[in-house]
Amino acid sequence: MHKEASIREPLILGDKSYHDITEDVCRPIENDAPKAWYLMITIAGLVAMWGIGCILYLIGTGIGTWGLNKTVGWAWDITNFVWWVGIGHAGTLISAVLLLFRQKWRMAINRSAEAMTIFAVMMAAVFPGIHMGRIWVAYWVFPLPNQFGSLWVNFNSPLLWDVFAISTYFSVSLVFWYIGLIPDFATIRDRVTRPVAKKIYSILSFGWTGNAKAWNRFEIVSLVLAGLATPLVFSVHSIVSMDFATSIVPGWHTTIFPPYFVSGAVFSGFAMVLTLLLIMRKAMHLENYIHVKHVEYMNIVIIVTGSIVGVAYITELFISWYSGVEYEAYAFINRATGPYWWAYWSMMTCNVISPQLFWFKKLRRNLAFTFVLSLVVNIGMWFERFVIIVTSIHRDYIPSSWTMFHPTWVDIGVFIGTIGIFFFLFLLFARFFPVLALNELKSILKSSGENYKEGFGYGEGYWDKHAHHEEIDESKNDNNDSND
């Protein structure tokens, strides 16, 4: 058994046994859903349907229904794409990078963060898809033999790199998530009594057995997939940033984009994880598993990545002047003081200044404050992408073509719609899937569970001599004095 210093805060609070963990996670799946769930999924469903309606209208009528014009050819669509891909970075970062660093607190949040990742990447993929205009020929992005004189896709282009990066990222994240889910589906399979549910979970659990060899393979697969997913996470957002960085547009043509985008992605991803989990832990009574310490750890990631993003903003600004390129300098002066100054300063306030408040321990351990700040960061990161994309191109080299971007109701409808679809999917996940990684939590119960750490009131180290949970519980009340 892996030992953990007693000074570390326990990760699982309360007097939990292995069975309690199963109970706590399976209860919301086995019981009827609360009214609030029906209310939320109805709202999300309506918004999602509105979004799908907007998308169908867009496909039927054409890209002209967006507010794009001759000067601003990319606006909300690509902003939303990058925003969603960024959000989709936290899940795999949590489950892969934190697995390699052996951060055990990841186990309470990785499952839902990965679900969030998968849904966010799906939402991201909507935007380049519909931006093509003719979505029925979307398969042309793949190098397929064709009747146009075998004209191949351009492997030099960052847009094609994106196709490969996003599809690899999506499918690998999905597989990583599902491989972790199989043993937990088996737990539900072996518990549920309703025949339909039993049948469904038995199919979903793939006949998982849980024998020693299967676990041996499970562990190596998790480790190797984490090792593969780690460079993948970094490559995906680097490649997204290269969509801009390899162009020659002032404001986009920046070599710091890859690390800047990756940290921004982690930053926004963690903010979205916090937004979702702070509600979920309350609604599903998971306060013992996702508690203040977990939130604090995530807030520390937010300070670090938020500060990297801040340094990147300032570096960009400095280099635009230091480079001596007037066009580059103007792009940045225009961002900060031009007609889009409000977007620039919203971005600066939300992403650079507000996360610094987490240096105060009181604030980063305050759940209500964290929730508000996570929303602020989500908004700020949307503005970051808007600022980078629109303010760089709305005033180009010919002042006569300078213009502004005005979103139409289709722009707004599609964006709001993807938020609806995202929440609809996440609510379905929270209702029918094990939202915590059961098997992983059980494996850290003895090293990081509160009661095991405190030796059941007998002081530290008691657990090593007395293995049986039940026996201890019986005699616990007799001599509580020997505590400590």
Partner 1 sequence: MADKVIYAMYDDDDVLKDGAKMLVGKGVHVADVYSPFPIHGIDPIIGVKHTRLGINAFLYGLTGTTLAIIAINYFMIQDWPMNIGGKPSFSMLENLPSFIPIIFEFTVLCAAHGMAITYLLRNKTLPGMPARNPDPRTTDDKFVMEVRVNENTQFSGDELQAMIKETGIIEIEERELQGS
| Residue 183 sits in the site that holds partner 1 (CB under 8 A) | yes
Among 76, 176, 405, 423, binds partner 1 (CB under 8 A): 176
- Nearer to partner 1 by Cβ, of 189 and 281: the residue is 189
Contact (Cβ atoms closer than 8 angstroms) between residue 191 and residue 24: no
Among 190, 259, 315, 336, binds partner 1 (CB under 8 A): 190
Q: Which residues, at least 6 apart from 86, have a Cβ–Cβ distance to it below 8 Å?
A: 237, 261, 264, 265, 267, 268, 269, 381, 385
| Residue 368 sits in the site that holds partner 1 (CB under 8 A) | no
Residue 126: half-sphere exposure toward Cβ, Cα within 13 Å: 29
Rounded-to-integer distance, Cα 332 and Cα 340, Å: 11
Among 2, 8, 285, 361, binds partner 1 (CB under 8 A): 2
- Output the smallest distance, CB 450 to partner 1, in A: 18
Q: Which residues, at least 6 apart from 348, have a Cβ–Cβ distance to it below 8 Å?
A: 313
Contact (Cβ atoms closer than 8 angstroms) between residue 420 and residue 15: no
| Residue 351 sits in the site that holds partner 1 (CB under 8 A) | no
| Residue 387 sits in the site that holds partner 1 (CB under 8 A) | no
Give the residue among 405, 248, 400, 412 at the shortest CA–CA distance from 339.
405
Quick one: tokens of 112? 């839902």
- Nearer to partner 1 by Cβ, of 13 and 179: the residue is 179
Element (H, E) at 25: helix 18-30
- Output the smallest distance, CB 59 to partner 1, in A: 28
Among 35, 362, 465, 468, binds partner 1 (CB under 8 A): 468
- Output the smallest distance, CB 144 to partner 1, in A: 11
> Of the listed pieces 14-22, 72-80, 82-90, 415-423, which binds partner 1 according to CB under 8 A?
14-22
| Residue 100 sits in the site that holds partner 1 (CB under 8 A) | no
- Output the smallest distance, CB 339 to partner 1, in A: 32
Give the residue among 24, 28, 3 at the shortest CA–CA distance from 12.
24
- Distance spanning both ends of the chain, measured CA to CA: 22
Among 55, 58, 93, 232, binds partner 1 (CB under 8 A): 232
- Output the smallest distance, CB 150 to partner 1, in A: 6
| Residue 196 sits in the site that holds partner 1 (CB under 8 A) | no
Counting Cβ atoms within 10 Å, is residue 43 exposed (0-12), middle (13-18) or buried (19+)?
A: middle
CA angle (391 as vertex; 386, 395 as ends), nearest 5 = 150
Q: Where in 111-150 is the site for partner 1 (CB under 8 A)?
A: 143, 149-150
Q: Where in 148-167 is the site for partner 1 (CB under 8 A)?
A: 149-158, 160-161, 164-165, 167
Among 126, 239, 271, 414, binds partner 1 (CB under 8 A): 239
- Nearer to partner 1 by Cβ, of 171 and 401: the residue is 171
Quick one: tokens of 138? 């979307």
| Residue 63 sits in the site that holds partner 1 (CB under 8 A) | no
- Output the smallest distance, CB 300 to partner 1, in A: 28
Q: What is the largest CA-CA distance in the chain?
A: 87
| Residue 3 sits in the site that holds partner 1 (CB under 8 A) | no
Give the residue among 301, 283, 280, 288 at the shortest CA–CA distance from 112.
280
Q: Which residues, at least 6 apart from 207, have a Cβ–Cβ distance to it below 8 Å?
A: none
- Output the smallest distance, CB 171 to partner 1, in A: 7
Q: To the nearest 10°, report the CA torsion of 291, 297, 298, 299.
A: 100
| Residue 475 sits in the site that holds partner 1 (CB under 8 A) | no
Residue 364: half-sphere exposure toward Cβ, Cα within 13 Å: 21
Q: Where in 212-231 is the site for partner 1 (CB under 8 A)?
A: 212-221, 223-225, 228-229, 231
- Nearer to partner 1 by Cβ, of 212 and 398: the residue is 212
Q: Where in 428-467 is the site for partner 1 (CB under 8 A)?
A: 438-440, 442-443, 446, 467
- Output the smallest distance, CB 439 to partner 1, in A: 4
